[in-house]
Each structure stands twice: as structure tokens, then as C-alpha cells.
Amino acid sequence: MAKRDYYDVLGIAKNASDSDIKKSYRKLAMKYHPDRNPGNKDAEEHFKESKEAYEILSDSQKRAAYDQYGHAGVDPNISAASAQNFGGFSDAFGDIFGDIFGQAAGGNRRSGHQVYHGSDLRYSMEITLERAAHGHETQIRIPSWILCQVCHGSGAKPDTKPETCPTCHGQGQVRMSQGFFSIQQTCPKCHGIGTYIPAPCAHCHGSGKVKETKTLEVKIPAGIDEGMRIRSAGNGEPGINGGPNGDLYVEIHIKPHSVFERDGDDLHCQMPIAFTTAVLGGEIEVPTLAGKASFTVPEGTQSGKTFRLRGKGIKGLRSSLPGDLYVHVQVETPVKLTDTQRDLLRRFENSLVEGGARHSPQSKGWFDRVKSFFE
């Protein structure tokens, strides 16, 4: 099945800002997260799709490549094949000008073995909101490459050794001439190494390296947010022909919280309060990521009222001050009343009716609007 357009997946325009991309992804991640939709395969696919779209569009380089070439521009298989099998523009055509005009034009011409940077690796880590807010140190286990102890890194079977490539005679490159032009490219037999292995090592299959699992220490900084990445230099795939290793990127995903919902550095929570507290007012306690806090609910508080607690949110990575906590109170309707309680409420209701509209200003305003509508 063809992939959907990443902008359509996130429901954003192509000129959307980074904050719009992040906000849209956060909403979709909260909606389709597997923890909130256990056993729902459709939701799981939506979650994976939105996550993939966010990974591309939140990276400026990947987004530029996607905008220009579509899915092919960010397909790692296509990119890797191009880099390893065909080389860059200068690899294919750099020697044309050197042959015609001499070294003055081709002074940057490369010869010998071609080296390639190792591919980067990605590791997805899911953490709690508390650990994202306060920081955390942990360990991860990832696949790695070590020197083969049987062939000592040569890739050749014991008592044998690599031999000079008969195709390029050890140069790692071959020259193809066609009429007036001459093109130099990587040797197809030895892939730019200059040697080949007639009898590969059975343990490493000629690569000179074997894969093992290693443990890395990862320090998660306080204030990290959904989708952010931590770079571990040199812990990616090994380079080719002596090229530098790639990097490992630990991508952070925050689990849905049972109490709080994060919005940047701010936190939001829904808090039920008693009917009597809403009517009479009073002081209530609310949880925060740093403990408990209290605030005063004024007399006559309506359901849905929002209270702002300054500095009780999260201090982001690039923020000088922590965000705020927004408490959205919901007045809880009493249930399973006794006969005595019902009688008290009826007498209370009668007293409100006798007091007139001053006890229920919202109801009076609503009924006035309805009356005006029908008239």
C-alpha cells in the first residue's frame, strides 16, 4: 500500500511551523497511543504512521529532502544504495575535467580506497512524564561490532590473507573510457578496498567484524519533551573502508500520564471538586510533579473553571523558568443519596427558587436568550 503524504497524516499545511508540527503530532500520539487503545490494530497503525511523519517533518534536512523528492528522498534504502554503489556526483564526473584540463581543474581528485561514513542508528525509548521532567540516568543495550578474534580483523580464513584485486590492481578504482571522456569509479569487484578475500573467514564471513550487544549509559536531561533525540557519537553502524562510525540517536517518547497532560512546559489536569466546595468555597490540594500544592476555590465556583498555578509545570530544556499548572475543576454531582439528603436538597432548592434569579445568574441569562430566540 502506498504511503500517505506526511502532511496529510498530521493534518497540517506544507508551510506549517515546527510548533504546528509538534502540536499536531502530540494530539495524534495521545489519541492513538497503544496504551490508550489496547488491542486496537487500527489505532496502532495510525500511531506508527503519525510517528513516522513527525520524525521526517520535524527534521529540517529530512523535511527539505521530502519536499523536493517525496518519500524517495527520505527512504534510507535508496539513500544507502546511492551512496555505496554509485558514489556522489564528484565520484562519477570529477575526473572528466582532470583528464581534459589537467590537475589545475581536477586538483581535488581522489584516488585509492573510497571511504564511507557509517549509517546512523535510532533507538526509541519510552519514559514516564516524571522522568522527563526531572531527568534520569539509565542503561540501554544495542547491537555493536567488534574485531573478529578468529581472523583478527583481516576477514580472511586463518593461514590465508587478502590478495590484490586483479580488476583494479589494488587501486580501488577503475577507469572507463568512452570516446573523448574518461570516468573513474569504484571497483565493482573489491568495492574500493583494493584487495579481495579468496577464502573468507567462516566466523565473520569475510567482514572482519562480528556483532555483539553492548551496554551504553544514557543521561536523559530534565525537561526533555516528546520526539526529542539524544545523540551518542560514534555508536552507530561502522564506516566502510575505514570511514568513521555513524551516530546513535535515542529518541524519546513520553507515556500518557494518568493525571497530567503536557503542553510544552505547561501541565493540565482535570480535578473534581465537591458540590459544597463549589458553592461555599474553600481551600483544596492538588498534585504536582514536585509534590502537593494548594489553592483557594472562591464561593460560587462554576464547573469548568480553570485555575493557574504559576511555576508548577515543567522547566524545559531551553527555558529559564518552569511552566504553569492549569487545574480545570469539575463540580461533581452527588449520587446515591439517602431520603434525608434528598429532603434537604428539595428544601434547599425551594429556598433558591424563593430567592429569585440572583442565585442562578447563568440560568436566568440562558432562559432569557431562549425566550428571545422563540419570540
| Shared domain check, 116 and 245 | yes
Q: For residues 230 and 276, state if they share a domain.
A: no
My answer on whether 374 and 268 are in the same domain is: no
**What is the domain-level CATH number for residue 124?**
2.60.260.20
| One domain for residues 218 and 129 | yes
Q: What is the 3-state secondary structure (H, E, C) of the chain?
A: CCCCCHHHHHCCCCCCCHHHHHHHHHHHHHHHCCCCCCCCHHHHHHHHHHHHHHHHHCCHHHHHHHHHHHHHHHCHHHHHHHHHHHCCHHHHHHHHHHHHHCCCCCCCCCCCCCCECCCCEEEEEEECHHHHHHCEEEEEEEEEEEECCCCCCCCECCCCCCEECCCCCCCCEEEEEECCEEEEEECCCCCCCCEECCCECCCCCCCCEEEEEEEEEEEECCCCCCCCEEEECCCCCCCECCCCCCCEEEEEEECCCCCCEEECCEEEEEEEEEHHHHHHCEEEEEEECCEEEEEEECCCCCCCCEEEECCCCCCCCCCCCCCCEEEEEEEECCCCCCHHHHHHHHHHHHHHHHHHHHHCHHHHHHHHHHHHHHC
Domain assignment present for residue 69? The answer is: no
Residue that finishes a domain, picked among 233, 256, 279: 256
- Residue 219 and residue 327 in one domain: no
Task: Examine the fold and report which residue of 221, 256, 291 is the final residue of a domain before the chain moves on.
Answer: 256
Q: Indicate the average pLDDT of the chain.
A: 81
Asked if the structure places residue 369 within a domain, the reply is yes
Q: Are residues 325 and 347 in the same domain?
A: no
pLDDT band at 178 (very low <50, low <70, confident <90, very high): low
Predicted confidence (pLDDT) at residue 18 exceeds the cutoff of 80: yes
- pLDDT at residue 313 is higher than 90: yes
Verify that 267 and 145 share a domain, yes or no.
Answer: no
192 domain-assigned = no
Q: Which of 217, 235, 256 is the last residue of a domain?
A: 256
- What pLDDT score was predicted for residue 108? 38
Are 120 and 241 in the same domain? yes
The pLDDT assigned to 205 comes to 86
Q: Is residue 132 part of a domain?
A: yes
Same domain, 252 and 142: yes
Domain, as residue range, for 236 = 111-162+197-256
Residue 100 lies in a domain: no
Q: Are residues 252 and 147 in the same domain?
A: yes
* Inside any domain, residue 351: yes
Are residue 153 and residue 287 in the same domain, yes or no?
A: no
pTM score: 0.58
Q: Is the pLDDT of residue 112 over 80?
A: no
Of 165 and 237, which is predicted with more confidence? 165
Tell whether 86 is covered by a domain.
Answer: no
When divided into structural domains, the chain yields a total of 3
Task: Specify whether 135 is located in the same domain as 227.
Answer: yes
- More reliable by pLDDT, 106 or 128: 128
Name the range with the highest mean pLDDT among 120-124, 172-176, 208-212, 293-297.
293-297
